[in-house]
Structure 1
């Protein structure tokens, strides 16, 4: 748009009376100032550069352009070492104009130490190639404030020869911080876990932990019913080790359950052949009809040639947000209900009135004590591979519970309940006694890790129990590590430290299990004399495919090593994971790819099952 276009555009606009008044006032001011300057014989063109920029010397052209754009400049010309900077550059560096004489040593001292090499490299490249280069760097001002500066570095030439360097720069702190924030948000968007839902890989249903979360949420927000179904095969043998068959049965049962319930109803796997269905805002009578349909379908269908049908039983309980109850307690009530159905040989038992907190706790405690007294457990040993030596040098002794036909099952549900009702100490003592007995009877050529719950540390006599067991079974304490599980349950750090010091004084090592999840604080690494940290399997299972998990694991390993702590990784599933762990410096690897747990002892079969034959309080009284 040229001047004629502007005049034509202006002519189309009709000025208002206010516009005309402003124009008269401005015109009067200009006429008075013009008359005053003429009377004083002042050159009115003194602040206007009328020179042709093309005819100017190159250095002056660069400096003049920077001045007009309000950019700072730093200049150096042959032959001397002296540099010069403009008033604007002085302000960028944190000085008032003229406050500090320009000098190269002072300039270098103000550039951030980590950026000096970059600036030096770019200046040399510009001089060598005689072409403009750019450099971004930080300067530390006299008051300690750091600012980001961006400079264009140009070489001044005369008759084809380089005669100097001019750097034109500006403060870009605001722009740079905004760019960093955009980059951070983009990176975080790609590393944060998008979906917190944990699904069982066999059935596609929620895991027990996530299903318990859904139950807890439902308890806080409304009313409804909870159904727990046990659907094992009708004919089972304790020697049947076909895990693939079990998986197929579980998947088939899950498909039946999903076909009956609505898409909004949460379904989860609670244990071997045990499923949970959450029916929010559903009455007991309505839920009973749905539960009966599920059980009838499970019982009526023949799934595999080796099993005529599933031996399905269900327990149904009502919940209300006004009840003083936790998710683990509601699950316990529903599991108790299906066992009651089984004892009565009825498909379904409805628990319309749940027991009180005291009654429920007493029932659970009695069942756990009976399990401990009857030694309804088995111990397994799983190898840990030393990744530097590439050989097995350790074994973790694992607890398994026995199902109703004597087959070992994961103990998570049982241990969770034992911790909830404060009966975990008895279980831990059983493990200590039996594990150390087996270690003492062997050649003790490996290193053994024995698990105890963080909640048990509150017992001041636990360390004495371990000391007595070590002496009684002649265990070399240097080949024993006490591994603390459920570290979030450690309620008193002083007591935990006293226990840890006792373990170390005994000559044993101390390990923290499942590190990185739950509420385990990083401060434990400095407040407790930990020898080994086991990185939780949730960080390991998808490690080769997740940059985010790789960053977390590598950072945790580096932290531990700088503190003199060994590291072990759980749930290792393939060689790709092993290679990554080895490259990070992880000391030990554990998982089915390294070695499966092997049976080392089975508890006395004084009772047929770990199942707690529990009944509602009113029926307990009747019995």
Structure 2
């Protein structure tokens, strides 16, 4: 780095100039040396001549006289005075006649050539031999050694002066040239430093443009370049920041996408146009039970298909193996050896914009629909089957009647029989031994009667203890035979509850197609009339529909119920019973549900259940009076017992059409000074969905005045979830069909969990009814149900419980 300045323009300029100066000075020194040598040679030659003349003048006379003693004296004097090294005098014969500072025995050196003085060989003496002449006559020769010390001294002095002058000139010129170079390149140095700062990433600073010359033009160009570069750098920095933000966003999106793909239940397999695996998410490996080494990026799709198909535990059906990874865009179902059912569909993935590739990538999507298929089968079963007995339900029964009616229109020769029956005194079993005993009776009846029927005959439970058998192709005789077998089979059954032996009988009615009816509703009505005729004839029997007998019996039954309901209203035979509804976890009373009972005048101390008189009341319109009576009695109870948290009162669907009912409820609350928050009105789901507009208006009114609304029997209708968002109820009561066997039924648990999740999402509480054991109560709490109701917690009774007393469930 110390010599780095030599690579700069300034350094190169100074060094080049110094080198040029050095060359010139060297040339000058060489020429000066040559001139010195020439001058010294001339001086030497002059001195030699002078000395030769002096010696010749001094010695020639003595030699002519052969006065060798004088010659010797002259030589001695001359050697001492003239800085001559030695002198030797020869005669003409070459004999030494006299010497000075030389021994005669020593050989005399040869005379030197004057040109040797310039050879630089370091001569100390210069040997000369000169003749001694007088008048042109030679008397001998004189050889002497001339001391060259003076010549060397003169040369040294001249060389020292010349070198000093050269060095001084060189230093002075270097100083002058360096100053000139510094002055000329000062702007360039500033440009260099600015360039280095700019290259190091420092902020660009504009340089002054004071010089109006080439350097000034270069500075202006540099300033323009620096400004443009600074702007580009700023743009690049902004772009870099954006790129970093985009990279961070992309990284976060990729992380979220990876987490999403990893958490998906769908198995995803992405394949390149070359047929190689690009990506497989964890669900794909799990669905096909593949390890990390079994499927990896880059492997051929054919190899993967072979690996899956080669394991009989994955695909045992050769036909399904042929459809594995079939890129036809259709959905295929692949059933594995363990009965798991997967769906497969492939989707073509087009190339991204700007991407060039031949062919299309494909995405295979796999889904395990085993549970969904089982649930769908269960839904289909529940849509057509009674949840308790497994028999066909009313909906499926009505569909079968409609099918036969349509078939009869096409084929007039078709005939069929409808057998309609219920159990005599079935309510006694429920009242005396509870719902579990009643359910056991219904299950036994369904089993025994079902064994009497042929495969083409439909056996349905229509509700409660009402059953029906549809026998296609049966004539009157076949229907009578089947009716007798059913009545006899029911009568032959024996039950034992709590140590008591119980036997039940049945009453059955027969109606034929097309003799008695051609439309489904008429067919059912005729069979119902025949059943009532069998009951009035003494029960435990069957009757075939006859117009005169059956109609009179049916009308008598309806008339009897109308009179009994009227008498109950007038004579105060209706009575409220109460059943507690408790919180899950720790059973604390939340509120009470009002249950209506009718005192039986013919059997003092016994009650008629709602299932016996409510259907008749709905048919003859007295249900409106019953609803108002229950509302008044319930609100009066709340007024007499202010410690009660609240009452839930059931309202029938017929009352929704009563425009005066909302004002009637408000009037009762005001009259008895009961807070609306203590009133909860229960509406059955089927009734609520039958007239959505009236239901919504009624619910809005109750909610608007501060009361609460509970949607009862939720889940019975399979459009429940779809309509729930339109019904602004506070509470949802899950139908007992999902609760009775909740502990042992995974399907019921799935439905209950789904109802809870929907209710929570909509901000509604949930109530579970028919809670009849501790295991069910605990499981409901674990599933997240808010409230529970059932015989395990409390039985319906006329006495009000103490809200302050916790229940030890």
**Shorter-chain TM-score range:** 0.5 to 0.7
CA 1:600–1:434: 2 relative to 1, 3 Å: farther
CA 1:434–1:290: 2 relative to 1, 3 Å: same
Contact 2:646 2:679 in 1 (8 A): yes
CA 1:214–1:538: 2 relative to 1, 3 Å: farther
Structure-2 residue corresponding to 1:350? 544
1:429 to 607, 628, 640: 628
For the residue of structure 1 that corresponds to 2:666, the secondary structure is helix
CA 1:450–1:187: 2 relative to 1, 3 Å: same
Q: Within 2, Cα distance between the matches of 1:237 and 1:534?
A: 26
Contact 2:590 2:645 in 1 (8 A): yes
Contact 2:392 2:459 in 1 (8 A): yes
Q: Per-residue deviation at 1:402?
A: 7.2
CA 1:136–1:490: 2 relative to 1, 3 Å: closer
For the residue of structure 1 that corresponds to 2:702, the secondary structure is helix
CA 1:315–1:565: 2 relative to 1, 3 Å: same
Q: Which is further off, 313-322 or 457-466?
A: 313-322
For the residue of structure 1 that corresponds to 2:590, the secondary structure is strand
Structure-2-length-normalised TM-score:
0.47
Q: Within 2, Cα distance between the matches of 1:548 and 1:251?
A: 20
1:470-509 CA distances to partner (integer Å, 9 max, x unpaired)?
A: 3455544321101111355445544333322321343321
Structure-1 residue corresponding to 2:699? 500
2:424 to 204, 229, 232: 232
Q: Per-residue deviation at 1:450?
A: 0.7
For the residue of structure 2 that corresponds to 1:514, the secondary structure is strand
Q: Per-residue deviation at 1:378?
A: 5.2
1:186 to 370, 388, 400: 370
Q: Within 2, Cα distance between the matches of 1:105 and 1:377?
A: 75
Alignment of 1:287-302 (within 5 A): 287-295=479-487
Contact 1:444 1:479 in 2 (8 A): no
CA 1:501–1:270: 2 relative to 1, 3 Å: closer
CA 1:212–1:573: 2 relative to 1, 3 Å: farther
CA 1:431–1:227: 2 relative to 1, 3 Å: farther
Structure-1-length-normalised TM-score:
0.58
Q: Within 2, Cα distance between the matches of 1:112 and 1:205?
A: 55
Q: Within 1, Cα distance between the matches of 2:534 and 2:695?
A: 43
Does residue 459 of the first structure (1) align with residue 658 of the second (2)? yes
Structure-2 residue corresponding to 1:280? 472
2:255 to 112, 115, 129: 115
2:512 to 318, 321, 333: 318
1:398 to 560, 578, 595: 595
Q: Per-residue deviation at 1:295?
A: 3.5
Q: Per-residue deviation at 1:290?
A: 2.8
Q: Within 2, Cα distance between the matches of 1:331 and 1:439?
A: 43
Contact 2:767 2:789 in 1 (8 A): yes
Structure-2 residue corresponding to 1:150? 279
Structure-1 residue corresponding to 2:780? 581
For the residue of structure 2 that corresponds to 1:374, the secondary structure is helix
Contact 1:200 1:269 in 2 (8 A): no
Structure-1 residue corresponding to 2:685? 486
CA 1:308–1:234: 2 relative to 1, 3 Å: farther
Q: Within 2, Cα distance between the matches of 1:108 and 1:294?
A: 77
2:527 to 334, 337, 358: 334
CA 1:426–1:262: 2 relative to 1, 3 Å: farther
2:580 to 383, 386, 399: 383
Contact 1:488 1:519 in 2 (8 A): no
For the residue of structure 1 that corresponds to 2:677, the secondary structure is helix
Greater relative CO, 1 or 2 (CA 8 Å, sep 6+): 1
Contact 1:428 1:452 in 2 (8 A): yes
Contact 2:581 2:593 in 1 (8 A): yes
CA 1:307–1:374: 2 relative to 1, 3 Å: farther
Q: Within 1, Cα distance between the matches of 2:628 and 2:481?
A: 45
1:236-255 CA distances to partner (integer Å, 9 max, x unpaired)?
A: 89985587876776666656
Pick the structure with greater CA Rg.
2
